[in-house]
Amino acid sequence: MPFLSPYMRPIVLLLGSNVFMTAAWYWHLRYKEVPIIYVIFISWGLALVYNPAQLKTMQEVITFVVFAGFSYLYLQQPITLSQGFGFALIVAGAFFVFKT
Instruction: Supply the range of the domain harboring residue 35.
Output: 9-98
Residue 31 lies in a domain: yes
How far from chain centre, in Å, is Cα 81?
22
pLDDT for 85 equals 93
Residue 57 lies in a domain: yes
Residue 7 one-letter amino acid: Y
**Residue whose C-alpha is closest to residue 16's, from 6, 100, 34, 57:** 34
What is the CB neighbour count within 10 angstroms for residue 10? Answer: 21
pLDDT less than 70: residues of the chain: 1-2, 20-32, 34, 36, 39-40, 42-48, 100
Residue 49 lies in a domain: yes
Q: What is the pTM of this model?
A: 0.54
Residue 35 lies in a domain: yes
pLDDT for 50 equals 76
Residue 3 lies in a domain: no
Number of domains in the chain: 1
Residue 37 lies in a domain: yes
Residue 4 lies in a domain: no
Q: How far is CA 63 from CA 9, 14, 49, 59, 80, in A?
A: 16, 9, 20, 6, 17
